[in-house]
Amino acid sequence: MKHVRPGYIPFQYKLLISYVLLLIIPIGVIGIYSYLSSSAAIERNTRNNLEVAVNQISSNVQYRVVDIKRSAEELYDDQLLSRYLNGRYEYWDRFQVTTQYVQPRLESAVHLPKPNIRLTLYLEEPAIGEIYYEETEQALTAGERLYQIRYANRVVDEPWYRSLNLPYDGFDWKQVSSDEKFGYISLLQPMINYETLGTIGLIRVSVKLKDIFGDVDVNQLGEETKLFVLDENSNLLYPASMADFSESLLNDERYLKITKEIDHLSVSLVALIPYQSFKEDSIKVRNLTILICLLSLIVMTFTSYLIAKTLTKWITKLTFSLRSFKEGEYSRRIHYRGKDEFALIAQSFNDMASTTQKLIDEVYISKLEKKEAELQILHSQINPHFLYNTFSSISRMAKLGEINKLHEIIRELAKFYRLTLNKGEMLISVEKELQIIEAYLNIQNIKYADRINMSISADPGTENFETVKFILQPFVENVLEHAWYDDEITIQIRVFCDGSNNMVMEVNDNGLGMKQEMVNQILGTGDKIGYGIRNVDQRIKLHYGKEYGVSLTSKVGEGTSVSIVLPKVLYDSSN
């Protein structure tokens, strides 16, 4: 009798249970959740978007206010102008001061901001003569850039002037004189005597409300939205033509109210957005949710057919895996979660594949790894990055006319590739490996303008020993890329016998050095750090055994020492 695992559920029952659960529960839960969450999200996002829009309008207004205020500050900060306005002059001196300094300063200030402004300077003492224009309705309506100098006694009895109580470094925005009639607002700032900090006059910069609050006219918040500006007493400031404004409107519960205070200007930007606009979006979401649920019910009628097709899908997957296995792709596995017939089939196939793979690995893995290492070294013999940099240096020398260096680097490059590409051999003599690294260092030393101090030495007889090809360059390349500590660097390469049956190749530098944590990481199994060093170590172990390979010691600020241990095997040039 066939053994049945605990928890086994026949496949046909799974079909029925899955169909019922997929059809009833998800549609109801998802539909209700979607409607509630979408409605809340719409209201939240709409509110956030409206607040962002109001903040943007407020920022634009604030920018214009600061721009206009620059005109008053241009005069307020001018100490020389203050001294001229506080002086006593004869007729000709007064004329020169007025025409050569005062008028040009007013002309400059009135053209400083982007909007058209009217600039008036009220003087408490008649140090210079008055300059003024006729305030006709036509001139005020046109909004031209104008300036004038008036004596303060002309406005001293006006209520707005008597009510001013500005400190010497203060300012205020008010609608004074004819401002309200012609749709203006004025920035008022004292003109001071910098020696006594007393006032010598008053700066008035008048600008049209429309030039400041123009964004309010272009309502970006919707057709039903009301957008307006209130002064510090909650009176309507702009637009003055808003017919349905009242105090009760501000507290109307049918509207979402968003208020933004304008810095440097005692006004508030108010937006009233009808809640009905939120509900319209919620109704759209509700209708869309119902539509989606209906479509889901229609789609679910085909669920039984799709689930039945799952049987064919798993059979097809099993057939494909068996075919791949037959063709030699032994790593393929069938992934199936469950406790039914397909789980038994998948487990049996995976067990068979694992057993076969293990047997193949035991026979061929060592040869495959060796071939892979040889292929890797063949690819690394011609380093595109090294070749590109060398050609760049050759191009630069040719442009600079450094013929001797150009000849030398080309000769060394030719020597380097002649040595590395010759015969495609994997094992070479120590002598040839030292010639390769010497050519490489000569090329690099030309590129680094003789800032590399190099020393290459080999004990007598060691040059005839065998070594794996191209094992010194990765270490020298690491020194040149990462170990520079000063303008110059010293690299010493030494080959010697250690007294036993081993030969040692050392690469020492006086560079930056590394912490022990970095050394451990390089010699570990990381993918990004120390890949070239581990590659050399693995190639040596593949050729000569696990007792040989690379060791690394380093100290921060003192340099790094690399030891490559190889067996003493004489090189056979006939191979």
pLDDT digits (tens, 9 = 90+) for 394-421: 777 777 777 887 778 888 777 777 777 6
For residue 422, what pLDDT is reported?
59
For residue 285, what pLDDT is reported?
75
Mean of pLDDT values over 352-361: 72
d(CA 359, CA 134): 107
pLDDT digits (tens, 9 = 90+) for 79-120: 888 888 887 777 788 888 888 898 899 999 999 888 888 899
In this prediction, what percent of the chain has a pLDDT beyond 90? 11
pLDDT band at 332 (very low <50, low <70, confident <90, very high): low
Bridge-based pairing of strands 236-238 and 226-231 is: antiparallel
pLDDT band at 368 (very low <50, low <70, confident <90, very high): very low
pLDDT band at 382 (very low <50, low <70, confident <90, very high): very low
Q: Please, what is the average pLDDT of the chain? A: 79
Same domain flag for 357 and 408: no
Checking 544-547 for CB contacts under 8 A at 24+ apart, the result is 544/569
Ranges 46-60, 240-254, 317-331: which has the least confidence: 317-331
Residue 255 lies in a domain: no
Domain that holds residue 353: 306-378
Same domain flag for 365 and 388: no
- Where is the domain boundary, 212, 244, 268? 212
Q: How many residues does the chain have?
A: 575
Same domain flag for 183 and 147: yes
Give yes or no for residue 200 having a pLDDT over 60.
Answer: yes
Residue type, 106: L
Same domain flag for 447 and 547: yes
Same domain flag for 442 and 558: yes
Mean of pLDDT values over 8-17: 60
User: Which is more confidently placed, 26 or 570?
Assistant: 570
- Where is the domain boundary, 357, 378, 399? 378
- Where is the domain boundary, 327, 359, 378? 378
Same domain flag for 358 and 422: no
Same domain flag for 334 and 453: no
For residue 525, what pLDDT is reported?
58
pLDDT band at 26 (very low <50, low <70, confident <90, very high): confident
Same domain flag for 173 and 107: yes
Determine contact, residues 217/242, Cβ cutoff 8 Å. no
Same domain flag for 105 and 200: yes
For residue 15, what pLDDT is reported?
60
* Residue indicated by tokens 């792709």: 329
For residue 190, what pLDDT is reported?
94
Residue 504 lies in a domain: yes
Same domain flag for 444 and 349: no
Angle, CA 86 vertex, CA 80 and CA 92 arms, to 5°: 90
Question: What is the Cα Rg of the chain in Å?
Answer: 44
Residue 108 lies in a domain: yes
* Residue indicated by tokens 């061929």: 364
Give yes or no for residue 203 having a pLDDT over 80.
Answer: yes
